[in-house]
Structure formats: C-alpha cells, structure tokens
Amino acid sequence: MKNSSHALQGRTYAGESLEDRQAKRRSQFIEAAYELFGTIGFRQTTVRNLCKQAGLTDRYFYESFQSIEQLLAEVYQREIGLIETAVLNSISTNINQVSVKSLIEQTLAVFFAVAENTKTAKIVWFEVLGVSETIDQLYISTIQNFANLFAQISLNVYPDLKISKAEVTTIAIGVIGAISQTTSLWYLSNYQTDKQTLIRSMSYMIQGTHLLLSQPNMQNIEMENFNE
C-alpha cells in the first residue's frame, strides 16, 4: 500500500499529473522553437538555445522530441493548421453572405494577414526548404492539400467549370503556387507592396481563371485569340 501511495505521489506534483507536466514542457519547446526558427532560423538553432529559450534542460527536450528536425515539422504543421483554419473560417462565414468576388477578397485578406507575421512567414515559406527528404515530403503534401482544398471550393462555387476534376486540381496547384511565391517575395521585400494590392492582384488571377474556365467554348478561346 505504501509503494502504491508513493507511486501516485511521484506522478503528481503541485496539482499536475505527469502527463500534464510533459504536455506543458512539450508546449514550451514548441513555443521556443517558433521564436527561434522564426528569428535566427532552423539551421542556427541548437538544443542548447532551445532549452535556454524554453527554460528547461536538455533531458526534457528528448522526452518529447527525437531531434530538432522533428520539432521543426511540429511547428510547421501547427502554423499551416492556423492558416488553414483561418481560411476555412473566412469561407464558411462568408460563402452564403457575400458575392464570389467579396468571398475571394475577404479570404485572401485573412491569408495575407497571417502571412504578415514575420515568424510564421519565415518558418512556412523558408525554414522548411531543403532540410531533408522527410520535410520536403511534408512541404509537398501541404501544397497538395491546399490545392485540393482550393479545387474543391472552386467546384462548389463554380459548378459549371468546363474541364475535368484532374485539370481543376492541376490548375489549383498553379494558383496556390502563384499565391505562395507572391507571399515569399512579399516577405523578402520586407512587405513593401501594399497588402490591398496583393489582395486585388491575386483576386484578379483567381476570378479571371474561373471566368475563362466557365466559358462554354473554353477550349477554343486560346486558338481564337492567337488567330485574331
């Protein structure tokens, strides 16, 4: 009975269970990594300065993570999740309330507002590049997921598109790539371009693409223009 009581005491400290304390330390390392990856960068971050930033010792780091790369993946996925949630919330809130043009612009406004956070932008658009094959696959799957999301939303908003679902998905990858590249250059320029200019420009691209693909004779438009 004494041993059982001692074991229970060992698992609880200051009213927190062992699992709660482990989760709290894990969260501290994620926040520390976000700060360091978003400032000095992944490649300059060490376990030592992660521990210093988190206020914990290295034994607690290895309690939650096998490597700094694993922590990078965790932070990256968290930030991607925040972007996706913000975009989906904007769409679900506005899709039946405003015009398609306003829906696109409001969603882009939400997206660029998140990208305006320099730490998030640095991690999502730069720190994950070229780290390893595992992180590369994570990055590629993220682009594909956003493209699939864009394609699905496009088919819901524009049910009369005159092309196949595979073509919609491929075009969606191009649109997501254009928005992503625009965002990365915006960050590198220290956000010199006015945000409203970005929103309007990307909105023109999306609306123009949908307008073209909604035309009954869409497949003949390009050749007709060249022959004029």
User: Domain check: are 145 and 93 in the same one?
Assistant: yes
Query: For residue 154, what is the domain's CATH number?
Result: 1.10.357.10
Q: Is pLDDT above 50 for 5?
A: no
**Overall domain count for the chain:** 2
Judge if 128 and 205 occupy the same domain: yes
Q: Which of 52, 56, 60 is nearest to 36 (CA)?
A: 52
Rounded mean pLDDT, 59-79: 97
Task: Say if residue 2's pLDDT is above 60.
Answer: no
- In the prediction, which pLDDT does 15 show? 67
Whether 51 and 58 have beta carbons less than 8 Å apart is answered as yes
Q: How far apart are CA 15 and CA 73, in angstroms?
A: 31
pLDDT at 165: 83
Q: Which of 64, 62, 177, 168 is nearest to 125 (CA)?
A: 177
Chain segment 130-165, per-residue pLDDT in tens: 999 999 999 999 999 999 999 988 888 777 777 888
Same domain, 113 and 213: yes
Confidence of residue 111 (pLDDT cuts 50, 70, 90): very high
Structural domain boundaries, residue 107: 68-227
Mean predicted confidence (pLDDT) in 90-96: 89
216 and 144 within one domain? yes
Give tens-digit pLDDT for 168-223.
889 999 999 999 999 999 999 999 999 999 999 999 999 998 888 777 665 555 54
Residue 71 burial by CB count (10 A; 0-12/13-18/19+): exposed, middle or buried?
buried
**Alpha carbons 47 and 2: distance in angstroms, whole number:** 39
pLDDT band at 6 (very low <50, low <70, confident <90, very high): very low
Q: Which residue has the higher pLDDT, 130 or 100?
A: 130
Chain segment 11-68, per-residue pLDDT in tens: 666 667 888 889 999 999 999 999 999 999 999 999 999 999 999 999 999 999 999 9
Q: Which two tokens stand for residue 99?
A: 């015009």
pLDDT at 85 over 60: yes
- Clarify whether residues 58 and 105 are in a common domain: no
- pLDDT, greater one: 199 or 10: 199
Burial category of 189 from C-beta neighbours within 10 Å (exposed 0-12, middle 13-18, buried 19 and up) = exposed
Whether 21 and 85 map to the same domain: the answer is no
- Give the three-state DSSP class for 116: coil
pLDDT band of residue 77 (cuts 50, 70, 90) is very high
Q: Are residues 92 and 175 in the same domain?
A: yes
56 with 73, same domain: the answer is: no
> Considering 38, 65, 92, which residue would you say is the last residue of a domain?
65
